[in-house]
Structure 1
Amino acid sequence: MTIWSRAISLAGNYALAPLLGKNSTSTYWYLPDPPNIKTKEDLARYHNFKPSPFYVVDYRSRVSYKFTSPDRILRLPYPEPIGPQVNPEAAFQCALGWHDCYVLDRTKAAREQFFLYADYFADQQTPAGDFSYLFDWFENTAPWHSALAQSRGASMMLRAYLLSGNDRYMRAALLSLDRFDVDCADGGYQAIFEPEGVVYFEEYPKEKNAVINGFMASLFALYELGHWLDNRRCRDIFDLGVHSLERMLPYYTLPWWTLYDRGADAGKNVHSPRYQKMVIGYLQVLSMLSNNPTIYNYAKLWARLNTPQNRTRAYLIKARRKLLYR
């Protein structure tokens, strides 16, 4: 793709579509998603919520995204040659949004929508437990899988189990996290963060770029299955991940902003302002789930960096990167 064709594509996705009220991938990913757990009081409410816990991030905005699909499963409108596709991570966010519309807002129709997704993905899950991406995405060739999507899927299946009592969903939840202690090279989700020699869970197993937001979010379901299913293995892997996150966060913290990943050009791929806000929320959640003061302090530090001046600088750097590279 030439720089001009990339510019046209970016303008359509990020500027024209929102301006004209049309769907694009960006109009979905840029919907608000505030954290639901920021205080000890939030955590207590989460632990005691019935019939199943609201999700740690509020995805109810996702259900407002308008799309057309015969099976009512979200398909994002990727540009050609990819075209409309089921992105498991996006679909799971939508499903968790429907779940919370049901348990928080008491919207009865939302329960049916939620189970529509749970049943669809229970049927789609591979015998090995993967919720596969069926389209190519840069270095990742279909079918490929992601620790991020596996975690969201496990959280969705856990809630389907708690609402219904159907063991099918519990098995699907556990199976989705089954290879979190297997290396990416062997078909799992685990990789090594070389600067510190610690284990993390990879959003893009073939790239191994250590995308920090994907790693953070992958920890959520490990906590949830450890807590609600009293699963010792998930608790242990969660604790391992929290220890790794502590060691990794300094490598993603610049004097003025934060980094999206630590890929080949480590230190240059900054978060967009939208993602900066998102990862601050993730850190707030994880600091409460883990009762970890280091993560709590990084949440405060990253929030302090989120100034108007720094957001403008990050936006310009990110826009240039997308225009020149991807």
Structure 2
Amino acid sequence: MRKLLFYVKKGLEDLINPLVYKPVYGEDVNKYYHLKYELSTLLDGRSQKFSFDKKNIPIIPHYIDSSSNKEGENNFHYYPIAIGQLALAYLHDYWDNSENASLETFLSYASWFVDNQRDDGTWLAETNVDKYGVKAPWVSAMAQGRAMSVLVRAFRITGEQRFFEAAKQAFEALVVDASFTRNYDEGVFLLEYPSTTTPRILNGFIFALYGVVDYYSVASNDKRCEKLLEDSKISLLNHLPLYDNGFWSVYDLDYIDFKKPVNISTVHYHFIHISQLRTLSDIFDDPAFSEVADKWEGYYRNKLSLLKVYFLKSKRLFNL
């Protein structure tokens, strides 16, 4: 019952007041992240239910559908993707409001990534993601990308070499460790959740790619980085039609790879896809991405599409 009430509440909020991140373009990306995270919105719990340890580092509860989820104080864990998201929101607050305290917090979170990076250049997630067969501990291309995005911005602001070296080590891991990538007929795919039944999650691929874009901005002589960007662009353009079901975007390709029911995106993730595609159009100077974004934004304006989305989400939730 607790899970059911959670999903119903979350679904209604997503339908009535979806959380939308605005895309960031051009030179503004040197300051902000590729998507604009508002600090007040994140601290209100719209993305993650953030708590903090004694050093003010973010911790979050295990997701409600995770077998790691337990009642009580031991239900919290350090999640690199979430720590990076909140770090970037503090950075945005600094640039928007000249809040020095926000800059200090951002740099403390960037230092957390330096201090907690493993010898192989990775960070571990300590939570089970049962729906994708992922057991703790695990690494993620999205975590690598998010960390690089934080570390590169900390390096730009402070000039401290430790931030650059950590970003470099994170990229080295991304291109060396086979856990992070898989090749399909459509091209290379950066994996948010490596597992035996690895899902192709669109937003996770692009968030991982943002980190490569950011690292390349301070390491433009790295030919491997340049090649990964080129290969990823081709792969994404090949993949995008698979994420379009004719009236909405889908979250993953498990309906193709593992013959599961189509996992339709929530409104929140549908708009993440749209904003990500607009940033890619700017990054790669290719209108093909924005053309898909225009099409998918048009889906949202069709109220019949919304009815279909939440009929399918409800059907999946109630196992109808």
Instruction: Give yes or no for TM over 0.5.
Output: yes
Contact 2:20 2:271 (8 Å CA) reproduced: no
* SS at 2:182 equivalent: strand
Identical columns (%): 23
**Distance in 2 (alpha carbons) for counterparts of 1:77 and 1:17:** 19
Distance in 2 between residues matched to 1:127 and 1:90, nearest whole Å: 21
> Which structure would you say has the larger RCO, counting Cα contacts within 8 Å and 6 or more residues apart?
2
* SS of aligned partner of 1:314: helix
Which residue of 196, 203, 223 corresponds with 2:192? 203
Name stretches of at least 5 consecutive residues in structure 1 with no aligned partner. Answer: 1-6, 20-25
Kindly report which structure 2 residues correspond to 1:117-136, keeping only aligned pairs within 5 A, or say none.
117-136=109-128
Choose the corresponding residue for 1:62, options 33, 39, 42.
Answer: 42
CA-CA distance at 1:16 after TM superposition: 8.1
Asked if 1:283 corresponds to 2:277, the answer is yes
Write the distance in 2 (CA, Å) between the matches of 1:324 and 1:17: 16
Partner residue of 1:173? 167
Match of 1:311 among 306, 310, 314: 306
CA gap 1:91/1:252 in 2 versus in 1, 3 angstroms:
same
- Return closer, same or farther for 1:160/1:309 CA change in 2, 3 Å cut-off: same
C-alpha distance in 2, partners of 1:64/1:234?
Answer: 36
Structure 1 residues 234 and 134, CA gap change in structure 2 (3 angstroms): same
- In 1, are the aligned partners of 2:121 and 2:169 still within 8 Å (CA)? yes
| Equivalent-residue separation in structure 2 for 1:9 and 1:63 (angstroms) | 23
Alpha-carbon separation, structure 1, partners of 2:146 and 2:293: 22
- 1:177 partner SS: helix
* 1:293 aligned residue: 287
The count of residues paired between Structure 1 and Structure 2 equals: 296
Distance in 1 of aligned mates of 2:159 and 2:18: 32
* Structure 2 counterpart of 1:95: 87
C-alpha RMSD over aligned residues: 2.5
Q: Is the 8 A contact 2:125 2:136 kept in 1?
A: yes
- How far off its partner does 1:18 sit? 9.5
Render the CA deviation track for 1:6-62: whole Å, top value 9, x for unaligned: x4313136528999xxxxxx9xxx98352332xxxx41x326xxxx52111111232
Which residues in structure 2 correspond to 1:1-326 (within 5 Å)? 7-12=1-6, 15=9, 32-37=19-24, 42-43=25-26, 45-46=27-28, 52-60=30-38, 61-65=41-45, 67-78=51-62, 79=64, 80-81=69-70, 83-138=75-130, 139-182=133-176, 184=178, 188-194=179-185, 196=186, 198-206=187-195, 207-232=197-222, 233-263=224-254, 264-265=258-259, 268-306=262-300, 307-324=302-319
Residue 243 of structure 2 contacts residue 250 of structure 2 at CA under 8 Å; is this kept in 1?
yes
Deviation at 1:182, TM superposition (A): 4.0
Deviations 1:192-236 (A, max 9, x none): 224x3x111011111321111111221111111112332433222
User: TM-score normalized by structure 1?
Assistant: 0.83
Whether the 8 Å contact between 2:20 and 2:268 is mirrored in structure 1 is: no
Structure 1 CA distance, aligned partners of 2:129 and 2:188? 24
1:316 and 1:86, CA in 2 relative to 1: closer, same or farther beyond 3 A?
A: farther
Q: CA deviation at 1:320?
A: 2.9
Distance 1:286 1:221 in 2: 13
